[in-house]
Amino acid sequence: MAPGHPYVRIADLTVVYRSGAGHEVEAVQSVTMDLPRGRFVALAGPSGSGKSSMLYVLAGLLRPTRGTVSVDNNDLTSMSADQLARYRCANVGFIFQSFQLLPHLSAWENVALPMIPLGVTASQRRTRACKQLSSIGLGARITHKPGELSAGEQQRVAIARAVINSPTLVLADEPTGNLDAANAALVADEMERLVRDLGATVVCATHDERVASRAQVVARMDHGRLVEQS
Amino acid sequence: MQDLIGFSWTELQRQWRRVLPGVIGVAAGVAILLTVLAGSTWLGAVTGQGILSQRALSQMTVTPGSEPTFTNAQVQWMLSLPKVDGGYPIVMGAFPAAIGDDGSVFQMLNLPAAVDRPALAAGSWPGENQVVLPDSGLMSRKTGSTIDSRALVGTTVTLTIPIAQGIQGSKTHVVTVAGVYHVDASPDSFGMPAVYSTLSTLEGILIEQGVWAGTADPNGSAGFGQFVIDAAKPADVAGIAQQLEGKGLRPQFVEQSVHGLSSRIGQIQAAGGVLVVLIVLFASLSISNVLVQAVRQRRKEIAVLLAVGFTPRWIGASLMAEAALAWVASLVIGLLAAEAVAFAVFLLQPSVGLRIDTISVLLVGIGALVFCLGAAWIPSRHAMRVDPVEVLREA
């Protein structure tokens, strides 16, 4: 599929959260949009605008209340839980605002985690994880636990984990939210590199205009609606 | 699978302090159950090799109550009872007996003294069939003369023993007397080496001869005060005993001690079983509780695993694998503990050989595995139902 062709198709996407008390919150309301392959896409908007929900749907972690989502012509809404897990493992890398590294595992073990479901051997996992960490300047930190790393280093480990299986879709949820300006810039650089070198589609939910300004496509959301796409 | 086990093993190591009580509990249950099974097997073997193997469970000893000896009618009645296979008298005391060259032993004392006696036709006593047998020899009832029983040695005698006199006729033996048997006598009491035999040999002869029914007089003494009845089956003993008691006779069960022992074994087994169930139940609840807590504490970790591509099934399987690994540890510890107990028992009482057999280990092991996996089932379902979005949004 050539760059620029719709890689992600979202049609009439609606996500409604139901609280235990029976209240309903419409996080995403009838969003329809196409995202091209191999682009850096920023989902911009204030907190509570539905950006994260959009990412969770694209990751196959959240089933939409209504509408359809397809990635690379695979309809996520019709997949089983196991199929979605396999889809995530093979195609999706997820970067979280709070890194979500497992504290009892070392840097390389965290990076190697997504390779376990693919059946990669232990030795190959270690080799590839160490290589990946070295490529982002963390070669000296491979055996460090997350608690022994700075916030910027933790996020780079999280990015390494997200891309270790060479995903075609990288989803980042406020990846610079917990970082200072310098580290935020490094993360933005890294996401640009993923697009440039891996040809991945990066969808980054952010309210950081400095990150959004570096994206090739910016979709702005407000109160669950898509209000602008440029 | 290797990754699953490796992952679960890492988690188990991380959680070992919490898992330890459950592992110890299951191990204790395994050890107790294996020891109880080994003990029961040993007791069963001991009783089986002893009383049980002699058909004691189907036998009972009967005494005539207040009377010193049975009457012939009583003996006949006992033998006519349904489900009675046969019987034989227990003959004890000091008495001489003629021993035939075919190995037969003939009792000469404990025969009815007052009335009909076994016909004893010996070459040296033509026509003599009325003899009494004092300790030192034979005495003719016709002449009153006492004959030294040693005179029989080397002679050919015809011994006619009324095996069921008045009922089935008699049995005749023509033998050359090889020696004289005298219980409780010194080897030289008759001026010649005594030939010793055992009471059981004599009883065996009487059994071989068939039913000892005493004399033709129904009210006459059968000549013995103890009789052993063989029931057709162990289950028949109680019913036969009830009928005997109804007639004023006193049955004594050889099986009573066995039965008591069996009951105690059963009680030990039951108590051990209850103890094991309680311990293993506690242990499985402990394991279950640990895993439930672990799932709660690891919700974020599980959510991350789901987010990076682990399937819910894999997550559930990893918890089951943790329980299985805990089971392996419990089984090994329990087996070692049981072996240690068996060894300690051996050191204290070498005659008691407790052996932990493979089948017991397999059965107990399978049972413990079921408990462990059962304990992990609900937590693993909980883990599979973790909503990653909810957890990650909380974070």
* Nearest alpha-carbon partner for B254 in B41, B93, B47, B42: B47
Q: What's the one-letter identity of residue A9?
A: R
Q: What are the Cα distances from residue B30, in Å, to B289, B358, B359, B368, B394?
A: 20, 13, 13, 7, 43
pLDDT in tens, B77-97: 888 899 887 776 665 433 444
User: Which class for A19: exposed (0-12), middle (13-18), buried (19 or more C-beta within 10 A)?
Assistant: exposed
pLDDT in tens, B32-82: 888 877 877 776 666 554 444 445 567 788 899 888 878 878 887 888 899
Residue B149: the pLDDT is 54
Q: Indicate whether A45 pLDDT > 60.
A: yes
Name B252's Cβ contacts closer than 8 Å, sequence gap at least 6. Answer: B60, B61, B62, B63
What's the gap in Å between the CA of B340 and the closest CA on chain A?
37
Residue B3 is nearest to which of A85, A89, A116, comparing CB atoms?
A116
**Spacing of C-alpha B87 from chain mean position:** 22
Does the distance separating the beta carbons of B14 and A89 come in below 8 Å?
no
Residue B284: the pLDDT is 74
B258 and B57 in contact (C-beta within 8 Å)?
A: yes
User: Which class for A140: exposed (0-12), middle (13-18), buried (19 or more C-beta within 10 A)?
Assistant: exposed
Residue B293: the pLDDT is 80
Mutation pick from B302, B308, B313 vs chain A, by most beta carbons of A within 10 Å, is: B308
Kindly state whether A62 is in contact with chain B, defined as any CB-CB distance less than 8 angstroms: yes
Residues of chain A contacting residue B311, judged by C-beta atoms under 8 Å apart:
81-82, 85-86, 117
What's the gap in Å between the CA of B20 and the closest CA on chain A?
20
Q: What are the Cα distances from residue A198, in Å, to A41, A152, A157, A159, A202?
A: 15, 22, 17, 13, 10
Cα A19–A58–A131 angle (5° rounding)? 120
Kindly state whether B316 is in contact with chain A, defined as any CB-CB distance less than 8 angstroms: no
Predicted-complex ipTM score: 0.89
Residue that wins the pLDDT comparison between A79 and B44: A79
Phi first, then psi: what are they for A30, rounded to 5°?
45, 55
Orientation angle between helical segments B16-49 and B255-297, nearest 10 degrees: 170
Cα–Cα dist A104/A106, whole Å:
7
Does the distance separating the beta carbons of A88 and B307 come in below 8 Å?
yes
B333 and B347 in contact (C-beta within 8 Å)?
A: no
pLDDT in tens, A168-227: 999 999 888 878 888 888 888 888 988 988 888 999 998 888 888 889 999 999 988 988
Q: Indicate whether B386 pLDDT > 80.
A: yes
Cα–Cα dist B90/B68, whole Å:
13
Confidence of residue B223 (pLDDT cuts 50, 70, 90): low
How long a stretch of residues is chain B? 395
Hey, which residues 285-314 in chain B have their CB within 8 Å of chain A? 300-301, 303-314
Report the percentage of chain A scoring pLDDT > 90. 48
Residue B258: the pLDDT is 52
A114 and A161 in contact (C-beta within 8 Å)?
A: yes
Characterise A179 by phi-psi region: left (phi > 0), alpha (psi -120 to 50), beta (else).
beta
pLDDT in tens, B291-333: 788 788 888 888 999 998 899 988 888 888 888 888 898 899 9
* Nearest alpha-carbon partner for A41 in A161, A218, A185: A218
> Which pair of structure tokens corresponds to residue B194?
């005594």
Q: Indicate whether A131 pLDDT > 50.
A: yes
Q: Is B340 helix (H, G, I), strand (E, B) or coil?
A: helix
Does the distance separating the beta carbons of A117 and B309 come in below 8 Å?
yes
Report the percentage of chain B scoring pLDDT > 70. 55
Residue B110: the pLDDT is 34
Kindly state whether B13 is in contact with chain A, defined as any CB-CB distance less than 8 angstroms: no
Starting at the earlier edge strand, list the strands of the sheet with B84-89.
Answer: B84-89, B227-231, B59-63, B250-253
What's the gap in Å between the CA of A69 and the closest CA on chain B?
17
Measured between CA atoms, the residue of chain B closest to residue A98 is B395
* Nearest alpha-carbon partner for A74 in A91, A61, A89: A91
